[in-house]
Amino acid sequence: MSDLSAIAESNPLRQALPRAKVPEPCSIVLFGATGDLTHRKLVPALYHLDQAGHLPGECAIVGFARRDWSDQQFRDELKKSLANPKDGGFEESWTEFAPKIFYNASNFDDPSGYRKLKEQLDKIDGTHGTRGNRLFYLAVSPEYFSVIVEQLGQAGLIYKDDEGPWSRVVIEKPFGHDLASALELNRDVSRVLREDQVYRIDHYLGKETVQNILALRFGNSMFEPLWDRRYVESVQITAAEELGMAGGRGGYYDTSGALRDMIQNHLLQLLCLVAMEPPVDLGADAVRNERAKVLQALPIWTAEEVENHVVRGQYVAGSIQGKEVPGYRDEKGVAAESSTDTYVALRVTLNNWRWAGVPFFLRTGKRLPKRATEIAIQFKKPPTNLFEVDNEANAGANLLVLRIQPNEGASLAFQAKIPGSRRRLQEVRMDFRYGTAFASPPPEAYERLLLDVLLGDPSLYTRTDAVEAAWKFVDPILKAWDAPDAPKILDYAAGTWGPEAADKLTEGTETEWRRL
């Protein structure tokens, strides 16, 4: 066995990902090839998949961007992103990987660039045996989504014939800025592509611990019988971040905000996995049908209901782990009078049989005390207390916590008798940690998602009806905030858990916001 083979064979991905599934030969075109996402996530994911034996030998990667680079310049830049001093076999593996990489310089709206791309891909089909199969990944600003799809269609780069080579397009979030723009983008895309050729990516769904939600629910008989309004008191979904506007992200974020950036996609997708009905199988259509039904069960709120069910905030200067940090309006790229939300908390109930009356609490924010994403399912308390308890309010309220990041895993809290003559109870926990249980870290989300699209499996991608249903829920909130008489956005100090007003959302329930 060669050194390169030994490196690939020892790679944890060989155990973490299904070895039997290797995509067909293909070319992978990365629009926005000089951008941060390509260098930080996409190319490293493709490189690791290749080293783990999950990409076909007949594969090529073509960068498409505006910078006037040559193939060699593009390769040199990517090498800087991949180089790892601890990887003794990197130089040898890079020598194998680099010849698969090409570059095409063009503006995104220039038809000649697409004609040149077509000629380049046709040539690669001959030299690399890629058989005409093509994946186009749109790692670009949303304003270019429709432009690129239209140009791909006009250049004859999209195949509609199922019998020949395949062509697929991955579109990064955000898929629309509101309901109207999402509908318009869907129309633009559908003029060129069939629904089964469109892959709307949400990297949260690629996280192994997110996928474990389905395994926990539908692979075990002990949880699903209790997974409804009769036994669940509430569900809390939190995505907290310590960071503010790192890396000059303020300019983008100030046009988006927490509701669009996190709630509309990431947290609603987590909600879907928690609340969906059992699918008939794990095929893409069956799973996505049930996820879409959850989004369709969300309420459409009036402005008054938005005020009662949603709290928005913006961080001001504060301290995180003893370090002073600036307020949002003092961040680079942020408007001095910005009213963009950096924190959103909401309480929602689903209009369906399983979850009628059960409150779902969703919360996300920047500059919170720690980075953590988790789902907490709080079960109802026993009808009577037979034992002595230290905390009467939460006595017997069993809690299942699914940790998405960091320390991926799950814990189940229940009551146990304290040793001694008294009948006193204390909460104890059973804990599962992904890295400990499986002796290897989970694969990166983009590695799983890229492999799935290359295999033609859209299970973890978002369908048109789900995108539109999510925006139908979020759009009234945005409109209520934009109204002239909308309540002023609330301040919260960096390093705290958000505005105090968010605590009112839990009033009348047996639930309090978790301090993670």
User: Which domains can be identified in the chain, with CATH numbers?
Assistant: 3-172 (3.40.50.720), 205-439+495-506 (3.30.360.10)
**Residue 34 pLDDT more than 70?**
yes
In degrees and rounded to multiples of 5, residue 129 shows phi and psi of 65, 35
Around Cβ 445, how many Cβ atoms within 10 Å?
A: 22
DSSP state of 442: P
Q: Kindly list the distances between the CA atom of residue 156 and the CA atoms of 153, 333, 454, in Å, as whole numbers in the listed order.
A: 5, 39, 20
In whole angstroms, give the CA distance from residue 265 to residue 268. Answer: 5
In whole angstroms, give the CA distance from residue 465 to residue 289. Answer: 9
Q: Which amino acid is at 177?
A: H
How does 366-401 read in b/e, with b if 16+ C-beta sit within 10 Å?
Answer: bbbbeebbbbbbbbbbeeeeeeebeeeebbbbbbbb
pLDDT of residue 498: 96
Residue closest to 64 by CA, chosen among 94, 35, 23, 97: 35
Using one digit for the tens of pLDDT, what is the confidence trace for 435-446? 788 877 777 889
Do residues 82 and 94 lie in contact, with contact meaning Cβ atoms separated by under 8 Å? Answer: yes
Instruction: Provide, rounded to the nearest whole percent, the portion of the chain with pLDDT above 70.
Output: 93
Do residues 315 and 297 lie in contact, with contact meaning Cβ atoms separated by under 8 Å? Answer: no
Q: Which amino acid is at 229?
A: R
Do residues 349 and 201 lie in contact, with contact meaning Cβ atoms separated by under 8 Å? Answer: no
In whole angstroms, give the CA distance from residue 360 to residue 234. Answer: 6
Residue closest to 498 by CA, chosen among 485, 514, 487: 514
Bridge partners of 374, per DSSP, are 238, 403
In whole angstroms, give the CA distance from residue 103 to residue 117. Answer: 9
What SS3 class is residue 374? strand
Do residues 54 and 24 lie in contact, with contact meaning Cβ atoms separated by under 8 Å? Answer: no
Using one digit for the tens of pLDDT, what is the confidence trace for 395-426? 667 899 999 988 888 999 888 888 887 887 87
Higher pLDDT, residue 88 or 353: 353
Q: Kindly list the distances between the CA atom of residue 229 and the CA atoms of 264, 359, 374, in Å, as whole numbers in the listed order.
A: 24, 10, 21
DSSP state of 55: S
What average pLDDT does this structure show over 193-222?
Answer: 90
Q: Kindly list the distances between the CA atom of residue 150 and the CA atoms of 9, 91, 253, 499, in Å, as whole numbers in the listed order.
A: 42, 39, 27, 44
pTM of the model: 0.89
303, two tokens: 């402005």
Around Cβ 96, how many Cβ atoms within 10 Å?
A: 11
**Residue 330 pLDDT more than 90?**
yes
Using one digit for the tens of pLDDT, what is the confidence trace for 236-253? 999 999 999 876 778 889
Q: How confident is the model at residue 11 (pLDDT cuts 50, 70, 90)?
A: very low
**Residue 485 pLDDT more than 80?**
yes
Bridge partners of 239, per DSSP, are 364, 373
Query: In sequence order, what are the residues at sequence separation of 6 or more whose Cβ sits closer than 8 angstroms to the Cβ of residue 283?
Result: 459
pLDDT of residue 443: 77
**Residue 315 pLDDT more than 80?**
yes
Q: How confident is the model at residue 108 (pLDDT cuts 50, 70, 90)?
A: very high
**Residue 495 pLDDT more than 90?**
yes
pLDDT of residue 169: 97
In whole angstroms, give the CA distance from residue 501 to residue 490. Answer: 8
Task: Kindly calculate the radius of gyration of the chain based on its CA atoms and give it in whole angstroms.
Answer: 24
Tokens 């006037």, residue located: 68
Q: Which residues are catalytic?
A: 266
Do residues 387 and 417 lie in contact, with contact meaning Cβ atoms separated by under 8 Å? Answer: yes
